[in-house]
Amino acid sequence: MLHAISNIRNFFFALILLCISLGAGATNVIINTSIGDIEIELFDTETPGTVANFLNYVNDGDYEDSFIHRSVPGFVIQGGGFTFKDGIVGNVPTDPPIANEFNRSNLRGTISMAKIGGDKDSATSQWFINVADNPGLDGDDGSGGGFFTVFGQVVGDGMDVVDAIAALQRVNVGGALGELPVRDWSGGDVLKENLVFANVVLANNPPPVNTACDAAFVTQNPDELVIDIAPTGTDDTVNIQCALTEAAKTGIPIVRLAKAEYTVSSILVTEFNGSFQGTTRDDSILNVADQSIACSTMQDQGLTPAAIKFVRGEPRLRFMTIKAANPCISGDPLQHLIHFTGLDANDSNCKNDVVFGAIDRVNLVGPGRETGILSAIAVTPEAMVLGGCKDTLLGTFKLNRSEISDFSTGISTAMRAGAQVDVNFSAFTDNSTAIVLADSNQSTTIISNEINSENTNLANAAAYGVVITTVGAAAPSKTRVVINNNKFIFSDSVGNSGSAIAAGLFNTSVQDVSISITNNKFTLAGGQLIAISGNDINNAAISANNFAGNGLYGILADSVNTQGVSGWTITANSGFLGFTSLSDVLLGSGTSQMIIGPDQGAVTDDQGTENTIL
């Protein structure tokens, strides 16, 4: 039947609180269908957030090439979910879900937002027109299944067109297209000319502005090419979201916060090529509200749950502090505070995504290493968590002069194709793991950072500084890492294990990791701590580092997956004479052809074969 029908997935929706300040005059739109035009008068005043959401899709052209995908005689016709272009069925790209604004009954001729059953705050792009009076869509059936928000009314002779569409033959082509209205179809494949297309356009020509922005708080300075946002004192999500969306559409390079505190839930912006910035880290504070993000619904929508998500583009985050504790409505941990990524995991286009992201002089404050948020920053494809073919993210990422504290993971990256990742001059404090490079094919530099971990009371709470690992069987074959001139200060008085630098491959294949660890300072205070550990990593260069304090080992090399470890050079390191440990250097039974240079004062336990101790 219709091309790519087998790949169609039903839309799922997420929660975001939206509000809007609009003018008193009603806005009219026209749905241009293959049967005729349907004019709609929108209820701007009664349902401002829903109208703003709908107009954003209209203004962005998201309904171009969309079609009526569902018709139920005596009930509704429905559109806004799917497109047909170049012979392929695709999804209308969705913005974050909106809050329900149910206000009037679903009577014949009204237009309402579709949503998922049991979640009244889940509407995104899909809409339907009531062919008959449908009071059953108004009330609560006990599961949140009612309360479909009416946000407009068909005017003129538009219902003649609606009735004509409802009278068309319907076919079942699978998935969400089980009640597809078709024209002039006599069997066989459903072709483009058989569909009822439904593009939505404005009936008049108002100024091309993002109608979700409240002009009392969002102002554009064309001379400076800046959009400024003032705090509302309540929820600033809508104004920040619309300002970033407007900047992405118009090419304005700066969206700026004032010297104030702001509160948000979830922000998602696509193809933003500019700077979202405050004034200074001390003056501009962005608080992510507790239990404000529908994390499980985002995940159903193909989006890894995150508070701030940049999709593609060249986004830069600068000069502010962002705080979060328990953002998910469900109480589950939020996956990422800030996520640089590509298209959603439900997207059927498996082409590579590209993002050029940066964070500069930003403080990120979490709820504690064992609770609340899994990572402060992630630069990963959506498939990293959700699966699917959107598993390759290209480009660059730079973290500079920032501070990250009290998260499970400070930053996680998984870019491919030799992407450049730089983590420089930043401070990581009391995170379970500061930096994770997982399944990456990157050129990564980690230079002049300070990584601190102090644990005085948490049991079973291992701590790590830099982790280089593979977790999937399809991990890239190569990655390159330079770790230079960093300070690692780790203390644990509870007896937990941990490692300042841990490189280990946990799938069945060996990744060719080119790793250089030079000029770093390791200060340990804990009997189970290790400065540098490497499992199944070949050809590491460890030179000119300084070791102090006490730990289990200074350097540990071994093989846990039986491939063997070889080719390490350990030279010109210092401090071993004052470092208290079981062994300064342990070469496990899986090692061979390792070289330990002279004059390091290291006590070496060599359990391998053909290693050279000079």
Q: Which of 262, 278, 177, 299 is nearest to 228 (CA)?
A: 278
Is 459 a domain residue? no
At 189, which CATH number?
Answer: 2.40.100.10
Asked whether residue 475 falls in the same domain as residue 548, the answer is yes
Q: Which residues contact 142 (CB under 8 A, 6 or more apart)?
A: none
- 456, part of any domain: no
Same domain, 182 and 158: yes
Let me know whether 419 and 486 are in one domain: no
Is the same domain home to 180 and 118? yes
Note whether residue 207 is domain-resident.
no
Would you state the pLDDT for residue 24?
Answer: 36
- Examine the domain organization and report whether 273 and 302 are in the same domain: yes
Q: What digits encode the pLDDT tens for the residues 175-193?
A: 889 999 999 888 888 888 8
Going by pLDDT thresholds of 50, 70 and 90, the confidence category of residue 204 is: low
**Sign of the CA dihedral running 286, 289, 290, 296:** negative
- Do residue 149 and residue 287 come from a single domain? no
Within 8 A by CB and 6+ apart from 32, the residues are: 197, 198, 199, 200, 201
- Whether 208 maps to a domain, the answer reads no
* Residue 237 lies inside a defined structural domain of this protein: yes
Instruction: Give the pLDDT of residue 6.
Output: 26
Q: Are 278 and 394 contained in the same domain?
A: yes
**Last-in-domain residue among 381, 404, 431:** 431
- 396-429 confidence digits (pLDDT tens): 999 999 999 999 999 999 888 888 999 999 999 9
- Three-state DSSP at 578 gives helix
Q: What percent of the chain lies above the pLDDT cut of 70?
A: 90
CATH number, domain at 363?
Answer: 2.160.20
Answer whether residue 15 shows pLDDT above 60. Answer: no
Q: Are residues 185 and 223 in the same domain?
A: no
- Quote the crossing angle between the two packed helices 48-59 and 237-250, to the nearest 10°: 10
For residue 57, which amino acid is it?
Y
- Residue 456 has a pLDDT of 86
Angle at 327 between CA 322 and CA 329, to 5 degrees: 165
**Range of the structural domain that residue 155 is part of:** 5-202
Q: Which of 202, 225, 242 is the last residue of a domain?
A: 202
Q: Does 164 lie in the same domain as 272?
A: no
The listed range with the strongest mean pLDDT (34-43, 46-55, 68-77) is 68-77
Looking at the DSSP bridge assignments, the partners of residue 425 are: none
State pLDDT tens for residues 235-244. Answer: 999 999 999 9
Q: Is the pLDDT of residue 14 over 70?
A: no
State the pTM of this model: 0.67
Q: For residue 8, is pLDDT > 60?
A: no
End residue of a domain, out of 168, 202, 236? 202
Residues contacting 148, CB < 8 A, separation 6+: 102, 106, 112, 113, 114, 115, 137, 138
Same domain, 403 and 440: no
C-beta separation of 258 from 227 below 8 A = no
230-256 core/surface letters (b: 16 or more CB in 10 A; e: else): bbbeebbbbbbbbbbbbbbbeebebbb
How far is Cα 433 from Cα 451, in angstroms, rounded to an integer? Answer: 10
User: How many structural domains compose the chain?
Assistant: 3
- pLDDT tens-digit series, residues 439-493: 888 899 999 999 999 988 888 888 999 998 887 666 666 789 999 999 999 999 9
Residue 376 is assigned to a structural domain of this protein? yes
Does 463 map to a domain?
A: no
Give the whole-angstrom CA distance, residue 91 versus residue 175. Answer: 13
Q: Is residue 400 part of a domain?
A: yes
Pair 421, 534 in one domain: no
Tell me: do 488 and 375 sit in the same domain: no
